[in-house]
Structure formats: structure tokens, C-alpha cells
Amino acid sequence: MKKKNLSAKKKIHNFYLKKLENPKIKKIYSSFEKKLYDNISKNFCVAVSGGQDSIALSFLAKCFSLKEKKNIFFFIVDHKLRKNSTFEANLVKRKLKSFNINCEILTIKKVKKSSNLQSFARENRYKLMVKQSLKKKIDTILTAHHKNDLIENFFIRLLRGSGLKGLASFGNIKSKANFDDNISILRPLINLSKKDLIYISKNTFNFSVEDPSNLDNKFLRVKIRNLISNLKQEGLTFEKFKLSLNNLNKSNDAIDYFVKKNIKSNSNYITLSKKLILNNDFFKQPDEIVFRSFSEVIQIVGNKKNYARGSKIESLINYLRSYKNSKKKTLSGCMVQKIENSVIIYPENE
């Protein structure tokens, strides 16, 4: 390597080390570092949007890569939903390049009109990152979700009618990606405030590119953000919210315990015929236990990455409860039939 390149590399390295001397940034980095040690096993990537949250995450991840001498991938998704999206993606890539962060731009090529643009962009953003992660043998995607997002997502899910599991799940620091169980989503900043991340962003790279839709009141997330701002004036704090969320998580864990117990006690898998048989007691549990248990066995037998739609699960449960002997039904790759007091489930293609 040429002396000029060595000098530039050393200069960049010293830049990061110098920034970590800031007591506040150092404290945040120490917490971030521990979360990565506890949750990262192989290669990981960073989801970069260009906003202050992801810029802060990029700084922290780069510090980790330098200290651990580990190669990290950085992905920017150009969703093509706004005319400036390509320009902004290239701008973020160029800016981060000056801090020795090499980003790869992933482009959504087929853009379809959607009634929910933000949801469409988010879904396709994850699809692209999961696809690229599988190619590069990455098993974890780091996102810049923080505690403000935690509250916003809770209210969004509440408005959409999510049950206990949906309301409690987002608070987890790590979860499986929707599009592939081999990829995990890690949220190492989930206990930090937006204010903390703005501080890191301004005191390190000192640039960001903000999506104008984040200020457009026609979007549900923006309306929720304004609602939360008003609730804060009425005494809502993150500490109070977190306490309620922790209580919901405890309730959710209790239900999961009984779901596993129900499946273990009231189902029997016949290896030779590849059939799962549910006895009558399987359906005599409380409704939420039955719903989740049935969702689990359908996913397992159907060998699907995602659960079947809740409305279809509920409809089939009601049907099975209504008849002693029923016609065969199909759901999520499974054949389902009730005979006397048992329900038989097996793969549809068998």
C-alpha cells in the first residue's frame, strides 16, 4: 500500500478514535458494542437511509469494525418513490465514502403504485436487504430503530388492531426477518432517544439527508408522531411506556408457555405418514392459546417462513369446531381435516 494511502487510512482511524474520547459518545458506543458482542455471530450489515439515526448507527458500526478489524457491509436502498431518491442515495454514499465507509446502493427496479407508500417502501427495503444479505452470507441486519420508533410502532399496530403478540414483539432487540428466518434484524439503538442519535450524528459526520415525507401529515406515522408529542405534554414518558410494554411482554411470554404446552400435550406427529394429529383437548384451551398453537402447527407442517393470515386461521378454527366430520381444507401449504374428535394436518403436496 502506498504511503499516501497509509497516511489517509491512519488519519481516518484517528478520526474515529478521537470522536470516541467524547464521554457521551463513548458511553453510547460501549453499550452498542456490548449489544453486538451479545447478538452477532457471523457477518452483519447496516441499513443506511441517510437520516440522522442511520448516520449515527453508521458511525458506531464503523468504530466497531475498526476496533474488531471486522468487515461490515453498508446498504442504501433507492426506493425510486421520489424523484430525488437516486440523487440522495448517491449523495449519502459519497459522503460516507469520505469517512472510509463503502456503501452499496440497492435499487428497487419495479415500482408499483400503492395506497400506503411508506409501508410499500419499508417492505421492499427489507426484501432487498435480505436478498443481498443471503448472497453475501450475512445473517444479521442492523437497523437504527430507537425508543421514539418503539412508541410510534406501538400506536400504529394498536390502530391496525394488532393483538398482544404484535404489540409486544417490536420491543425485542432482535427478531427474525419477515422474508427469511435465516436473517435476523438487530436494533442495538432501541433504548436510545432520537436526541442522543442526533447528538452523535452532528458531532461525528455532521451531515444527513432527511426524507420530506417524514414531515407530511398525510402519512399515518407522522400523525402518530404528532399525537405522541401531544401525549408527552399530558405526562407520557418513555419510562412509563416501557413499563407497560414490559408488562405486555410478560403476559405474552406466559401465553407462549401455554402454547408450547398445548402443542406438546395435545398433538402427535406420525413420522411414517408425515401427518400431525391434534386431539380434541387441543381446541379446548382459551381462544388465544388455540389460535397461536394452530398457527404454529400450520406453519411447521406447511414448511412456510411466515404465518398464515390471522383471519384465515380463525375462520378454519371455527369451521373445525363446528363439525364432527368435515371436508378437507387447504391452508398455507397444508391439508386439514377433522375426523371424529381429531384433526389431521399434512403437507398439501404429499
Q: What phi, psi does 325 have (nearest 5°)?
A: -125, 130
Share of residues in the chain with pLDDT > 90 (%): 56
Weakest-pLDDT range from 96-110, 145-159, 322-336? 145-159
Question: What is the distance between the alpha carbons of residues 295 and 300, in angstroms, rounded to a whole number?
Answer: 9
pLDDT value of position 347: 94
| 347 within 8 A of 335, measured Cβ to Cβ | yes
Q: What is the pTM of this model?
A: 0.79
Tell me what the mean pLDDT of segment 182-200 comes to: 93
Tell me how long the chain is. Answer: 350
Q: Is residue 158 within 8 Å of 242, Cβ to Cβ?
A: no
Virtual torsion, Cα 310, 315, 321, 327, nearest 10 deg: -120
* CB proximity list for 247: less than 8 A, separation 6 or greater: none
Angle value at C-alpha 167, between 170 and 42, nearest 5 degrees: 20
pLDDT of residue 166: 80
Q: Which CATH number applies to 3-236?
A: 3.40.50.620
The C-alpha atoms of residue 186 and residue 169 are separated, in whole angstroms, by 13
pLDDT tens digits along 160-186 = 777 888 887 767 788 888 777 788 999
Quick one: CATH architecture of 265-347? Answer: 2-Layer Sandwich (3.30)
Q: Which three cell numbers mark 61? A: 458500526
Instruction: Return the DSSP state at 309.
Output: P
Q: Specify the pairing of strand 43-48 against strand 73-78.
A: parallel
Pick the residue with more confidence: 173 or 61? Answer: 61
pLDDT of 338: 94
What residue ranges of the chain are covered by domains with CATH 3.30.465?
265-347
Quote the strand ranges of the chain, DSSP E.
Answer: 43-48, 73-78, 103-107, 138-142, 174-177, 180-186, 267-270, 275-278, 329-331, 334-339, 342-347
Q: Judge contact between 182 and 129, C-beta under 8 A.
A: no
57 contacts 141 by C-beta, under 8 angstroms: no
| Over residues 128-148, mean pLDDT | 92
pLDDT band at 212 (very low <50, low <70, confident <90, very high): low
pLDDT for position 3: 54
- In angstroms, the CA 334 to CA 323 distance is 19
Name the amino acid, one letter, at 287: D
Residue 188 grid coordinates: 442495538
Type of residue at 52? Q
Residues near 106 by Cβ (< 8 Å), separated by ≥ 6? 75, 76, 77, 78, 128, 129, 132
Average pLDDT, the chain: 88
Task: Report residue 201's pLDDT band, with 50, 70 and 90 as the boundaries.
Answer: very high
Is pLDDT of 56 > 90?
yes
Q: How confident is the model at residue 2 (pLDDT cuts 50, 70, 90)?
A: low
Q: Is 306 helix (H, G, I), strand (E, B) or coil?
A: coil
Mean pLDDT of 283-292: 95
Return the pLDDT at 160.
77
3-state SS, residue 107: strand
Q: Report pLDDT for 98.
A: 93
By the 10 Å C-beta count (0-12 exposed, 13-18 middle, 19+ buried), 41 is classed as: exposed
Q: Which residues contact 203 (CB under 8 A, 6 or more apart)?
A: 19, 22, 25
Strands 275-278 and 267-270: antiparallel
Residue 61: other Cβ atoms inside 10 A = 25
Higher pLDDT, 306 or 319: 319
pLDDT tens column, 309-347: 888 999 999 999 988 888 999 999 999 999 988 999 999
H or E element at residue 5: helix 3-19
- pLDDT average, residue stretch 79-107: 91
Could you tell me the pLDDT band of residue 114, with boundaries at 50, 70 and 90?
A: low
Nearest CA to 118 among 82, 145, 164?
Answer: 82
* Least confident among 87-96, 159-168, 273-282: 159-168
Percent of the chain, pLDDT > 70?
92
